[in-house]
Amino acid sequence: MGLLSSLGSLSSSWEGLLALKSGIKLHQPFSDFPLLPLGLIEEKPGELNYFIQVVVTAALENARLVPPLPDCGVVIGSSRSYQAVWELLATEITPPNSLFPQEKLRGVNWLETLPNQASITAARIIGSTAPVLAPMAACATGIWAIAHGFELIQQGRCQRVLVGATEAPITRLTLAGFEKLGALAKTGCYPFDKQRSGLVLGEGAAVLILESAELALSRGAEIYGKILGFGFSCDAYHMSTPESSGKTARSAINQCLERSNISASDIDYIHAHGTGTKLNDAREAKIIQELCPHVAVSSTKGATGHTLGASGALAAAFSLMSLKYQQLPPCVGLKEAEFDLDFVRVTRKKNIENILCFSFGFGGQNAVMALGKQ
């Protein structure tokens, strides 16, 4: 695995989470916006390609693999993709401290800013000539990407696939959009808290190297866990508001459990979507209360910010770390819970066999993944 968040690398982010640290700080990346809590990786908004290069390189090192890997499939998604570049190209504005000065923009090849470019960049890094895919499904993108990679192996088209998502969402349009929706927090991200007031945007990327069990065991690979199954559905209800009853989200959960050959009672931990918004957290808490009210729950967005399309990939990486180290990460930012659930408030040691990861995106995109101990 390779990961990059406002807390740092995979190991730094994991250690920070366990220590209840947050990478969210007040920043003013654009002079025409006020100070806002943001999960920036550095002091200024970063570039998508840089993120993907860092996490792919880290994943290869972690997996003890050396390019070229021509038979390795690639599935890398992004929700916002190269929106930062598009905004500057569209307005021909060079803001103060921009990472994209005007002379650089004049040389931009628009073909290299299409939504599939992050996946192509990853394919070039590893020298892949296998299938290369680039899913986009709002905040469910990361889990969708992992699912596509899983299916490539299941169908016998690949034995190894690089999967994940990357996001550089700190742009004027994204900030303005969430502000107009009333979803942008002013002080910080507090998932499931009574005082939660919205989400905090965060930069991030995470990739996993999936392998068939046969290939992983034959080369003595370090195995973090196994993918059991997935479930997907769409609310078909509203562009941004989740369908309040949660019936379609529950459908995705039920699909996931059935395909994974497990039941709700087998779940030891839920990595919740937990954005810190009023509507999402309320619906998600209701679903968990109906599904398995006594299971341990936390969201890591209070530490990293909401990385939008990359959030499901980060959730998968953190959940696999939980399986490896048998520790549950706390729900950073949660002080006074509004809901009667078993929230992980401090790092908790626990015998963990099975984990559910939730991702619920705009447009009613519901994605659920089950992970199991190897």
CA 111 vs. chain centroid, Å, equals: 25
C-alpha–C-alpha distance, residues 278 and 316, integer Å: 24
Type of residue numbered 251: S
CB atoms within 10 A of CB 326: 14
C-alpha–C-alpha distance, residues 302 and 299, integer Å: 7
Note whether 108 and 89 are within 8 A (CB): yes
CB atoms within 10 A of CB 358: 26
Beta strands in 121-225 (DSSP E): 132-133, 160-167, 204-211
Question: DSSP of 356-371, one letter per residue?
Answer: EEEEEEGGGEEEEEEE
Strand partners, 357: 271, 369
Note whether 276 and 39 are within 8 A (CB): no
C-alpha–C-alpha distance, residues 61 and 199, integer Å: 33
Task: Name the DSSP letter for residue 124.
Answer: H
Note whether 341 and 334 are within 8 A (CB): no
Residues marked active site are found at 139, 273, 306
Closest CA to 190 of 79, 338, 59, 323: 338
